Amino acid sequence: MDKNIEIDQSMVDYIFAHSNNLHPIQKKIIKYNESLGYVKKLQISVLQANFIQFLIQQKKFKNCLEIGTFTGYSALSIALSLPSNGKLYAIDKDKKNTDVALNFFKQAKVNRKINVEVNNALVALKNLKKKKKKFDLILIDADKENYINYFNQSLSLINKDGIILIDNILWKGEVANPSSKDKITMKIKEFNNYIKNKNINKYILPIGDGFFVCWK
Ligand SMILES: C[S@@+](CC[C@H](N)C(=O)[O-])C[C@H]1O[C@@H](n2cnc3c(N)ncnc32)[C@H](O)[C@@H]1O
């Protein structure tokens, strides 16, 4: 049996109390998302965002791509850790939430670092490929039905030393429950098996709802 501690809320509080403080606008987005009720769960976890920030700063990444922006928590976290000449390309099909996110980016004064496209992600990704764009980090966090498509598109958009992160791949633990047969669990299991058999470096990081960390 591998040795891992349980991360309950008191442990999360302890981790926050001993880590870098959140930016005031990160706190504001969390509060806003909490006011939305059930859909607040769409946001990546704070621990996941902290990990992304660590990666960007340590690897000195400059160009990032996000598929699924929602109200902007992950995008803001990425932009805050990018250098002043860094850029995030953020895609989401939902205009209303994207406008909310844009407002938060302005408040945090990182709006110039973020290029937002309101579009179906598959269309947006094809256009980026046509333009021969390349990214150091790609975060996939949109509709699970298209995860395999997003991943395959990302393979041609990622730089040689880049990292692709895919969220929700443990799906609240359901992927390891053989009796869970709902549509999304089955889609995520299909995706995870696809990655398992792909000739790429991979590692599952069990924070938030689970990140697949992939690199060439
Ligand atoms: C889980 S949320 C993203 C959360 C965000 N990364 C954060 O941390 O706050 C998923 C987002 O993907 C968007 N989405 C779903 N299907 C999409 C599609 N086909 N093309 C573009 N965006 C899509 C939704 O509108 C939603 O905002």
Please tell me if the CB atom of residue 136 comes closer than 6 angstroms to any atom of ligand 1: no
Distances (CA, A) of 130 to 45, 123, 124, 153: 33, 11, 10, 11
What pLDDT band is residue 28 in, cutting at 50, 70 and 90? very high
Q: Model confidence at 1, in pLDDT bands (50, 70, 90)?
A: confident
Q: Assign domain 9-215 one CATH number from 3.30.1540.10, 3.40.920.10, 3.40.50.150, 3.20.20.190.
A: 3.40.50.150
Could you tell me the two tokens for 150? 């997003």
Ligand 1 nearest atom to the CA of residue 142, by list position: 12
Give per-residue pLDDT as tens, 42-58: 999 999 999 999 999 99
Could you tell me which residues come within 8 angstroms of residue 180 by beta carbon, excluding any fewer than 6 positions away?
174
Q: What is the pLDDT of residues 128-178, one digit of tens each?
A: 999 999 999 999 999 999 999 999 999 999 999 999 999 999 999 999 999
Residues 6+ apart with CB under 8 A from 52: 44, 74, 77, 78, 81, 137, 139, 165
| 91 alpha carbon – ligand 1 mean position (Å) | 8
Residue 29 pLDDT > 90: yes
CA-nearest residue for atom 1, ligand 1, is 42
- The arithmetic mean of pLDDT across residues 178-196, rounded, is 96
- pLDDT score at 90: 98
Nearest-atom index, ligand 1, CA of 92: 22
What integer is the mean pLDDT of 51-80?
Answer: 98
**Is any ligand 1 atom within 6 A of the Cβ of residue 78?**
no
How confident is the prediction for the chain on average, in pLDDT?
97
Distance CA 36, CA 175 (A): 27
Sequence-separated (6 or more) residues with CB below 8 Å from residue 203: 212, 213, 214
Distance 92 CA to ligand 1 centre (A): 6
> Residues for the chain: how many in total?
216
Residue spans per domain, the chain = 9-215
State the distance from the centre of ligand 1 to the C-alpha of 18, rounded, in angstroms. 30
What's the pLDDT tens digit per position in 74-97? 999 999 999 999 999 999 999 999
- Closest atom of ligand 1 relative to the 94 alpha carbon: 25
- Run of H or E residues at 24: helix 24-35
